């Protein structure tokens, strides 16, 4: 390194000053020249920071340069944006995101790292993660590894240093778009664009790839330090059969904490086998994709409703809507985030909810006797149903996620009461 010093004379003229007040100042400045040692050898010098090495190509023809983290390669998926400020690990392990790239609108992601306690399933199902700024350090006492290492081990692609605000605006204007993430320079933009325009998520059965393969018993409850409704426990135990369409662990924990004995069964489990177990109630869980793409699940729901109390969450809510004769439709860009206001029509209260779905039930298509119990205040869409004659209830959002933080948790107590009344009357 060579350093040269030089002296420069400058003058300073204050505002409204007279010539007599002008002062001459001497300022010492430095010119610094740095040598890397490669000039004489001609060797290439790498930049001290990561350069853009990935592309996101959307079906509208736009190409977004970014930096990669996690896995490498090429992946196609539907791009959706999530407005949650925290909880990226729960999002990564939510099976409902299968086939989708999740764009986080919160610019800073990764600052709390990851830990085993926040897993919502045994693996990551989403196609990739899109963020503005990747934290280079972690500061949470529960952190066990960085977000980048976590995604690499699970073969999930991620990109950062991309204009997530501009992409979000585009998704809000045009709706969810199919995109391709790639770190492969050998693939041209035109090839990636063709991939995005020949792949579709509508009408695809995504549930069968995320569901369990064999029935199992679930016993784990919410940890003592996180349990906020422990004073509402019931001495009575109810047996619940939970259909796994992509079920989240926290749904099972909350049911177990409310005194339920739970048997989790695959999405293709016959209704006749479920009824042979003589359950006190049946849960139809959340899951990914289009409810119209899984007619076998709709038929299962049809065979069960009216025979035992049932509770549907998210995909389960949509399947119940179809099983009752209603219709579902694809939303423009869906609901994804932890700050969606929902009004309880029955009592007028407002809940702050966590939501993750691209489809909704059309309330106008539902038969007489079905009650819309909850309404999304952002767009007026149906967020909950009840049909007392058929002993069923459902929510479009996730009561176990507790972003309010506890606004919706009592719905599990309502399900228990539904089973109790049925048990007492039989």
Could you list the active site residues?
314, 398, 400
Instruction: Give all strands (DSSP E) within 137-237, no chain letters.
Output: 157-160, 177-182, 216-218
Please count the residues of the chain: 426
What angle separates helix 315-323 from helix 295-304, to the nearest 10 degrees? 70
Instruction: Name the 3-class secondary structure at 33.
Output: strand
C-alpha dihedral, 355 to 233 to 343 to 106, nearest 10° = -30
**Residue 27 CB neighbours (<10 A):** 9
∠ CA 186-187-190, nearest 5°, is 145
Distance of alpha carbon 231 from alpha carbon 244, whole angstroms: 29
Distance of alpha carbon 321 from alpha carbon 291, whole angstroms: 10
Distance of alpha carbon 164 from alpha carbon 211, whole angstroms: 31
User: Phi and psi (nearest 5°) for 230?
Assistant: -65, -20
Distance of alpha carbon 323 from alpha carbon 304, whole angstroms: 10
Give the H or E element holding residue 259: none
The tokens describing 42, both together, are 């001609």
CA 266 to chain centre: 22
Distance of alpha carbon 202 from alpha carbon 289, whole angstroms: 7
State how far the alpha carbon of 138 is from the alpha carbons of 109, 134, 250, 258, in Å: 10, 11, 24, 34
Alpha helices of 154-293 — where are they, by DSSP H? 164-174, 189-198, 249-257, 271-276
């Amino acid at each position: 390194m060579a350093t040269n010093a030089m002296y420069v004379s400058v003058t300073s003229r204050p505002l409204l000053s007279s010539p007599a007040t002008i002062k001459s100042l001497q300022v010492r400045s430095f010119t610094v020249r740095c040598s890397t040692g490669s000039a004489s050898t001609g060797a290439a010098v790498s930049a001290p920071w990561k350069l853009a090495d990935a592309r996101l190509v959307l079906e509208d023809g736009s190409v977004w340069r970014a930096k990669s983290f996690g896995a490498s390669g090429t992946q196609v998926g539907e791009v959706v944006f999530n407005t949650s400020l925290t909880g990226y690990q729960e999002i990564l392990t939510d099976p409902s995101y299968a086939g989708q790239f999740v764009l986080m609108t919160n610019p800073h992601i990764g600052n709390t790292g990851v830990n085993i306690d926040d897993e919502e399933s045994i693996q990551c199902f989403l196609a990739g993660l899109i963020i503005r700024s990747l934290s280079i350090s972690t500061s949470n006492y529960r952190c066990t590894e960085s977000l980048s290492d976590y995604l690499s081990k699970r073969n999930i692609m991620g990109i950062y240093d991309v204009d997530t605000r501009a992409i979000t605006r585009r998704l809000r204007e045009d709706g969810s778009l199919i995109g391709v993430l790639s770190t492969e320079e050998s693939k041209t933009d035109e090839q990636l664009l063709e991939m995005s325009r020949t792949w579709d998520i509508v009408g695809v059965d995504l549930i069968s790839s995320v569901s369990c393969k064999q029935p199992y018993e679930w016993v784990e409850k919410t940890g003592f330090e996180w349990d906020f409704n422990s004073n509402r426990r019931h001495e009575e135990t109810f047996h619940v059969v939970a259909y796994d369409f992509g079920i989240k662990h926290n749904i099972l924990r909350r049911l177990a904490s409310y005194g339920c004995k739970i048997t989790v069964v695959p999405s293709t489990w016959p209704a006749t086998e479920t009824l042979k177990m003589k359950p006190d109630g049946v849960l139809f869980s959340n899951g990914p994709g289009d409810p119209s793409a899984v007619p076998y699940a709709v038929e299962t729901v049809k065979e069960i409703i009216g025979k035992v109390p049932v509770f549907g969450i998210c995909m389960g809510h949509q399947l119940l809507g179809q099983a009752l004769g209603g219709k579902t439709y694809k939303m423009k860009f869906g609901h994804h985030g932890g700050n969606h206001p929902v009004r309880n029509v029955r009592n007028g209260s407002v809940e702050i909810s966590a939501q993750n779905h691209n489809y909704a039930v059309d309330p106008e298509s539902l038969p007489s006797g079905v009650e819309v119990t909850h309404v999304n205040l952002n767009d007026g869409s149906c967020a909950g149903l009840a049909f007392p004659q058929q002993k069923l209830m459902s929510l479009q959002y996730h009561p176990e996620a507790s972003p309010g933080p506890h606004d919706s948790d009592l719905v599990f107590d309502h399900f228990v009461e539904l089973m109790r009344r049925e048990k007492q009357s039989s």
